[in-house]
């Protein structure tokens, strides 16, 4: 495990460039094993999830190399093998190998995935989708066995709830199945559109992504002809927008898709942040006075659950009481006790999180723990705002999803380092 050490109190200024989206990347890498040719991705974020997915690929004799944001994957010599459970458990998205292996070999055996501990994260809708396509599902302790000896056949799948992961897994299993699959009540996140763009460019027939009805006509082969450029990470973007507003003297955030963040930027604007939004970048000027807001997390295009914690330090600066209701993960509260240790006035109860005005002079460095990635992001921003030294233990959670975060922050005039525990 690593720890992040922050000397707080510096004002930040300059430019930061956002990397490729974690939640696209972690679906694209498993999707690569559906190809009959080598594939290449660029603007790949340098995050732990990518390195762990590469370990999983290696176990199947799928060679990959990653340098300067370019990831090459050659799935042409893939073999069926036992997947390394430590790497599988290190991230959530390892469950995409269920859909991808099912699509490729018509069977898969995987241990349950890990990922952020943010309350219950069942995978019943993923399994329901696989069954609808003709797979049998059996579970044995922490292991899931999937088998479709007669192949996969397109079908109608109505998702009981809007799920990013289940929608992606259904796409991965259906893309090479026989016949047509219709996914209803599908999730509409931009990362799903990115995945479908990659697959369609290889010859897949996926229509309707970005709406709640996705139609997939199965194809026999997928062949990559070009490099796929991963979309910008909207959650990383939102994190830098928040920290720029909280302690910036003018920060330009480059490589942004503003349309993916409208629910978030509209809340920042409501708070009084005079964001200057351009086609692919956003300038955050120094902020004078902030108003309290109410936030309710929703599936896309609503306010993302992954952004409630990164916005929390900014809400603490606002005059009055801000309220967060996380409808996706009501138990996503791992940041609260840690932020209290740093002097923030924040409490949870009755299904909501209440953040009261905290003068930045009252925030002080402390020893805290990043219980999960976005809790870690809120501690990191608060540590930058606070006077003194903050040590964030379990910082691997942050490194799991924030591209070259120490380098990016220090270029903005922060004082941050990572050390082994």
Ligand X SMILES: CC(=O)N[C@H]1[C@@H](OP(=O)(O)OP(=O)(O)OC[C@H]2O[C@@H](n3ccc(=O)[nH]c3=O)[C@H](O)[C@@H]2O)O[C@H](CO)[C@@H](O)[C@@H]1O
Ligand Y SMILES: C=C(OP(=O)(O)O)C(=O)O
Q: Give catalytic residue positions.
A: 116
When the beta carbons of 97 and 292 are compared against ligand X, the nearer one is 97
328 is in an annotated binding site: yes
In 264-281, which positions are buried (b, 16+ CB within 10 angstroms) versus exposed (e)?
A: bbebbeebebebeeeeeb
- Beta-strand (E) ranges in 26-116? 39-42, 63-67, 70-74, 107-111
When the beta carbons of 41 and 96 are compared against ligand Y, the nearer one is 96
| Beta-carbon contacts of residue 407 (< 8 Å; ≥ 6 apart) | none
State the binding partner of 164 from ligand Y, ligand X, none, CB within 5 to 8 A by kind: ligand X
Minimum distance from residue 93 beta carbon to ligand Y (Å): 6
The residue number with the shortest CB distance to ligand X is: 165
**Helix ranges (DSSP H) in 106-157:** 124-132
171 is in an annotated binding site: no
Backbone angles phi, psi at 223, to 5 degrees: -135, 125
d(CA 233, CA 250): 21
306 is in an annotated binding site: yes
122 is in an annotated binding site: yes
When the beta carbons of 33 and 317 are compared against ligand X, the nearer one is 33
State the binding partner of 123 from ligand Y, ligand X, none, CB within 5 to 8 A by kind: ligand X
When the beta carbons of 166 and 246 are compared against ligand X, the nearer one is 166
Taking Cα atoms as reference points, which of 66, 39, 36, 38 lies closest to residue 52? 66
Which chain residues interact with ligand X by CB under 6 A? 23, 26, 92-93, 120-126, 161, 163-166, 187, 305-306, 328-329
Tokens of 9: 């109190």
- Dihedral sign for Cα atoms in the order 129, 132, 138, 144: negative
The residue number with the shortest CB distance to ligand Y is: 115
| Beta-carbon contacts of residue 380 (< 8 Å; ≥ 6 apart) | 4, 6, 243, 392, 398, 405, 409, 416
State the binding partner of 163 from ligand Y, ligand X, none, CB within 5 to 8 A by kind: ligand X
Minimum distance from residue 300 beta carbon to ligand X (Å): 7
The bridge status of strand 389-393 relative to strand 416-420 is: unpaired
255 is in an annotated binding site: no
121 is in an annotated binding site: yes
Compute CA distances 364 → 138, 340, 368, 376, 386, whole Å: 51, 10, 12, 16, 5
Minimum distance from residue 290 beta carbon to ligand Y (Å): 24
When the beta carbons of 55 and 362 are compared against ligand Y, the nearer one is 55
State the binding partner of 125 from ligand Y, ligand X, none, CB within 5 to 8 A by kind: ligand X
State the binding partner of 284 from ligand X, ligand Y, none, CB within 5 to 8 A by kind: none
**Residue 341 Ramachandran class (φ > 0 left, ψ -120 to 50 alpha, else beta):** alpha
Q: Which residue has 């995050």 as its token pair?
A: 47
Minimum distance from residue 409 beta carbon to ligand X (Å): 21
DSSP code of residue 20: B
State the binding partner of 401 from ligand Y, ligand X, none, CB within 5 to 8 A by kind: ligand Y
Minimum distance from residue 235 beta carbon to ligand X (Å): 7
When the beta carbons of 240 and 365 are compared against ligand X, the nearer one is 240
200 is in an annotated binding site: no
How many CB atoms lie under 10 A from the CB of residue 420?
A: 6
To 10 degrees, the CA torsion angle through 360, 116, 171, 126? -130
Which chain residues interact with ligand Y by CB under 6 A? 91-93, 115-116, 118, 306, 373-374, 401
Minimum distance from residue 409 beta carbon to ligand Y (Å): 18
* Binding site per annotation, positions for UDP-N-acetyl-alpha-D-glucosamine: 92, 121-125, 306, 328
User: Annotated binding site: which residue ranges?
Assistant: 22-23, 92, 121-125, 306, 328
């Amino acid at each position: 495990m690593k720890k992040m050490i922050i000397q707080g109190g510096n004002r930040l200024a300059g430019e930061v460039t956002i990397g490729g989206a974690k939640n696209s990347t972690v679906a694209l890498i498993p999707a690569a094993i559906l190809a009959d040719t080598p594939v290449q991705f660029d603007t790949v974020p340098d995050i732990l999830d990518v390195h762990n997915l590469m370990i999983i690929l290696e176990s199947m004799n799928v060679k990959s190399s990653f340098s300067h944001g370019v990831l090459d994957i050659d799935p042409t010599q893939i073999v069926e093998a036992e997947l390394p459970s430590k790497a599988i458990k290190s991230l959530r998205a390892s469950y995409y190998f269920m859909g991808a292996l099912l699509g490729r070999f018509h069977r898969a055996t995987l241990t349950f995935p890990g990922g952020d501990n943010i309350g219950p994260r069942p995978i019943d809708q993923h399994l329901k989708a696989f069954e609808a396509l003709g797979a049998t599902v059996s579970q044995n302790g922490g292991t899931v066995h999937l088998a479709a000896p007669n192949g996969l056949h397109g079908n109608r799948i109505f998702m009981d709830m809007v799920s990013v992961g289940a929608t992606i897994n259904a796409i991965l299993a259906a893309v090479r199945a026989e016949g047509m699959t219709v996914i209803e009540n599908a999730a509409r996140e931009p990362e799903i559109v990115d995945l479908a763009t990659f697959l369609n460019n290889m010859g897949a027939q996926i229509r309707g992504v970005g709406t709640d009805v996705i139609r997939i006509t199965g194809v026999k082969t997928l062949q990559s002809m070009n490099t796929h450029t991963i979309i910008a990470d909207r959650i990383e973007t939102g994190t830098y927008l928040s920290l720029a507003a909280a302690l910036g003297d003018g920060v330009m955030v480059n490589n942004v898709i503003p349309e993916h963040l409208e629910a978030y930027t509209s809340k920042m604007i409501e708070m009084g942040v005079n964001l200057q939004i351009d086609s692919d970048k956003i300038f955050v000027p120094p902020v004078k006075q902030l108003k309290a807001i109410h936030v309710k997390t929703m599936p896309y295009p609503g306010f993302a659950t992954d952004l409630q914690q990164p916005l929390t330090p900014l809400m603490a600066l606002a005059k009055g009481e801000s309220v967060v209701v996380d409808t996706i993960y009501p138990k996503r509260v791992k940041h609260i006790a840690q932020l209290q240790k740093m002097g923030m006035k924040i409490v949870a109860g009755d299904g909501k999180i209440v953040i009261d005005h905290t003068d930045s002079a009252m925030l002080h460095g402390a020893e805290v723990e990043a219980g999960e990635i976005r809790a870690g992001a809120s501690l990191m921003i608060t540590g930058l705002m606070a006077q003194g030294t903050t040590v964030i233990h379990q910082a691997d959670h942050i490194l799991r999803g924030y591209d070259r975060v120490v380098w990016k922050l220090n270029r903005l005039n922060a004082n941050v380092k990572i050390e082994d525990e």
